[in-house]
Amino acid sequence: MSSVQTKLPVFDLDQIRASLVRDDILAAVREAFVRHARGEVVSPVPGQLLFNDPPGDCHIKYGRFHDGPTFVVKIAMGFYENAALGLPVNNGLVAVFDARTGATLAILQDAGWLTSWRTAAAGALAAVAGAPAVVTSLGIVGAGHQAENQARWVAPALGTQRVAILGRYRDKADRLVGKLRGTGLDAMAVDTVEELFGACNVVVTCTPSSTVVVPASVVRPGTHIVGLGADSPGKQELDPALFSKADVIMTDDHDQCVDHGDFSHAVRLGLAKSDTDVSLGAVLAGLQVGRRRDDDITIADLTGIAAQDIAIATLAWERLSGRIGASDPTRSTGKL
Amino acid sequence: MSSVQTKLPVFDLDQIRASLVRDDILAAVREAFVRHARGEVVSPVPGQLLFNDPPGDCHIKYGRFHDGPTFVVKIAMGFYENAALGLPVNNGLVAVFDARTGATLAILQDAGWLTSWRTAAAGALAAVAGAPAVVTSLGIVGAGHQAENQARWVAPALGTQRVAILGRYRDKADRLVGKLRGTGLDAMAVDTVEELFGACNVVVTCTPSSTVVVPASVVRPGTHIVGLGADSPGKQELDPALFSKADVIMTDDHDQCVDHGDFSHAVRLGLAKSDTDVSLGAVLAGLQVGRRRDDDITIADLTGIAAQDIAIATLAWERLSGRIGASDPTRSTGKL
């Protein structure tokens, strides 16, 4: 072992943010889903470390594309009492390594933003994959950080300016509406889930709920729902009965969604057969359809997959290291 | 999530090396074994990523002491064809995080040396734990990097200057002997395992072997053997029959050693009962004995535990960050 070391490149959030544009992330995450569906991603079971005092968690996701030049280890923390201390709730880093030598290529000190953007991209891709021909308005259930993300990424992907926000607390929803209007969106807050599903035919749910927030009764034919919140055991957003009404069920990963996605609740209750889902990646690749008829009810159940992390971290590293050229500066609307 | 970030401290190998002395590592690793034996360490199953072309592996070990202020994630790579390219075989880093906020405290860019030193410390502690009253000479089976480490750490721990080296290739053993003589040790190379065990009553094995390198027939009463090499499934160094002759069997971790240590081969062949081992940590704490009589044959089977990594990384970070004072400079013999 030699003691001669090259200086480890550490990129901070400002550098990471400046290196990426939305279109490139969408393309990279789309490819990640397609390759995941093809079985071209190596992603072992994530590691987990839980903390009680104060409560917190650490998740370690890692993996690579089969022929990829890099592999990625993401260490992501959530410490929920930090907010009261004026500290960030999310911490962590993403490390990028050379898959041919094991050398450490870079540390991306992303403060959770790469995860946030890859989730936003997944929502946008899944929304488009099942959207009806004419989108009346985008609905968002949730008023937190990811709700803001989804509104800002999904609305342009669907080609709509109209966004309705349903939050648990009206004041928080109003604050988000104000922010979204500042970005040029035609945003409004609504008070009930009935109102939301009355106005919108594409709805993204992104809450930390552990009980149903979307009853099957409010969902009209022709609606597409993207469920993002149920990403670990115990979480739930969508009425299991919705899955028995759905014409297409897309999942980001079959096994994960059967284990702990919204789909899992329906499968356990016998309201959907476990083999009735199609892979989001296969839909994005054009091998399956996300919607057949205008009055279909369609659902995309997203639990988050390592391929997304691998894709966005590799993209960021390629940009930051100059391996591939900078993004086209004329695509300024895609700035993060 | 805030975009205000503090600069992430990255410490390179020279800084890490300068911050530590041998005595402090021995004390920290001793405590790690004791706490591991007491069940005070949280260390989930390590992550693993394997590479075929070229061959390599990535191991992710992580955990914390129950009441510890930090937690540690170690990402360690071995790419065995790097040597031919003039690149280091071992790569990786150790990340230290705050267990109360999840904040990243430091990246230790250790190039595998923290693992190397914590393994050296384990060898020294295990050698002393079972050594007979009078050590004739220290024997080392192996002539690689860890063999050098063991000679340099174990001999002073045992209070001997005499070291005999048995390598697979005599020229490599001779080169190691030359290096060790340069450090003041009375080193010699031997050609056979009979010769080694004839001259030495404490022997450390540290080879990558997958077959027996120490036959039971060569081991005289009064010998203490520390087996370091069998650290993953498929590896083996010690004759399983040795375990039926042993008066004391110490293990660093019962479950790991029954699964893939040298002990595992003896247990599977019915040559040792799986409950006949005592914990190295319990011996170090004085709760068990590592040797009863001068003519006992004793074995310490070491597979490597996360507690060692947590201990040495936390120690390094505390020194580097100034949380605890620098090591006593008068202990210069302990410089790494």
| Chain B residues whose beta carbon lies within 8 Å of the beta carbon of residue A110 | none
Cis peptide before B233 (omega within 30 of 0): no
Question: Is A108 within 8 Å of A75 (Cβ atoms)?
Answer: no
Contact A87 B75 (CB under 8 A): no
Among chain B residues, CA nearest to A46: B47
Nearest-by-Cβ selection for A1 from B1, B93, B145:
B145
Contact B101 A85 (CB under 8 A): yes
Length of chain B: 336
Is residue A96 a contact partner of residue A314, using CB atoms and an 8 Å limit? yes
CA-based max dimension of chain B:
66
Three-class DSSP category at B33: helix
- Per-residue confidence band for A4, with pLDDT thresholds at 50, 70 and 90: low
How far, in Å, CA of B187 to CA of B138, rounded?
A: 9
Contacts of B13 in chain A (CB under 8 A): 3, 5
Cβ contact, residue pair B104, A93, below 8 Å: yes
Percent of chain B with pLDDT over 70: 96
The confidence score (pLDDT) of residue A3 equals 44
A205-230 average pLDDT score: 96
Q: For residue B211, with 0-12 CB atoms within 10 Å meaning exposed, 13-18 middle and 19 or more buried, which class applies? A: exposed
CA distance B243 to B297: 9
B7 pLDDT tier (thresholds 50, 70, 90):
confident
For residue B139, what pLDDT band results from cuts at 50, 70 and 90? very high
Are the C-beta atoms of A319 and A326 separated by less than 8 Å? Answer: yes
Residue B233 confidence (pLDDT): 87
Distance CA A41, CA A34 (A): 10
Task: A168-176: list long-range contacts, CB under 8 Å, 24+ apart.
Answer: A168/A143, A168/A207, A169/A143, A172/A143, A172/A144, A173/A143, A175/A143, A176/A143, A176/A147, A176/A148, A176/A151
Please report the pLDDT score of residue A209 as a whole number: 92
- Per DSSP, the residues of A35-53 read HHHTT-EE-PPPEEEEEET
Chain A nearest CA to B48, separation (Å): 8
Chain A residues in contact with B12 (beta carbon < 8 A) = 5, 7-8
Angle, alpha carbons A20-A24-A25 (nearest 5°): 80
- Starting at the edge strand found earlier in the chain, the sheet holding B277-279 runs B186-190, B162-166, B138-141, B202-205, B224-227, B298-301, B248-251, B277-279
What is the 8-class DSSP label of residue B204? E
CB atoms within 10 A of CB A292: 10
Give the chain B residue whose CA is nearest to the CA of A82. Answer: B101
Say what the pLDDT of residue B330 is: 53
Q: H/E element holding A108?
A: strand A104-108
Q: C-alpha A68: how far from its chain's center?
A: 22
The pLDDT mean for chain B works out to 94
Residue B286 three-state SS: coil
Given this model, what pLDDT does residue B25 score?
A: 97
Higher pLDDT, A89 or B211: B211
Q: Are strands B70-79 and B90-98 parallel, antiparallel or unpaired?
A: antiparallel
> Residue A90: what pLDDT?
87
Q: Which residue of chain B comes nearest to A41, CA vs CA?
A: B49
Average pLDDT over residues A29-57: 94
The pLDDT score that the predictor gives to residue B329 is 53
Is residue A183 scored above 90 in pLDDT? yes
- For an interface test with A, the pick among B14, B73, B82 (most A C-beta atoms closer than 10 Å) comes out as B73
Answer yes or no: is pLDDT of A262 > 70: yes
Q: Which of A191-205, A272-286, A300-314, B43-57 has the lowest mean pLDDT?
A: B43-57
Pairing outcome for strands B104-108 and B186-190: unpaired
Mean pLDDT, residues A133-146:
96
pLDDT beyond 50 at A332: no
A32-43: pLDDT as tens digits: 999 999 999 999
pLDDT in tens, A8-19: 899 999 999 999
Q: Which residues of B touch A88 (CB under 8 A)?
A: 1-2
Report the greatest alpha carbon distance in chain A.
Answer: 66
ipTM for the complex shown: 0.86
Whole-angstrom Cα distance, residue A181 to residue B245? 79
Q: Of B45, B75, B103, which has the smallest distance from its Cβ to A73's Cβ?
A: B75
- pLDDT over 90 for what percent of chain A? 87
Which of B14, B104, B108, B113 is the best substitution to test chain A (most A C-beta atoms within 10 A)?
Answer: B104
Rounded-to-integer distance, Cα B288 and Cα B281, Å: 9
Residues B13-28: tens digit of each pLDDT: 999 999 999 999 999 9
pLDDT beyond 90 at B327 = no
Alpha-carbon distance values, B226 to A127, A208, B10, B230 (Å): 60, 51, 35, 11
Contact: A8, B87; criterion CB under 8 Å: no
Sequence-distant (≥ 6) Cβ neighbours of residue B124 within 8 angstroms: B26, B150, B153, B154, B157
pLDDT surpassing 80 at residue A21: yes
Report chain B residues whose CB lies below 8 A from the CB of A44: 47-49
User: Would the pLDDT of A155 be above 90?
Assistant: yes
Distance from C-alpha of A181 to C-alpha of A175, rounded to nearest angstrom:
10
pLDDT for residue B332: 47
Search chain B and give the residue with CA nearest A144: B1
Q: Mean pLDDT check: name the lowest of A186-190, A296-300, B24-28, B45-49.
A: B45-49
Residue ranges and CATH numbers for the domains of chain B are: 11-114+307-323 (3.30.1780.10), 123-305 (3.40.50.720)
CA-nearest residue to A96 within chain B is: B92
Q: What is the pLDDT of residue B90?
A: 87
Q: Do A5 and B17 touch (CB under 8 A)?
A: no
Q: What is the mean pLDDT of residues B89-116?
A: 94
Tell me, yes or no, if the pTM score tops 0.90: no
For tokens 């390594």, the residue is A97
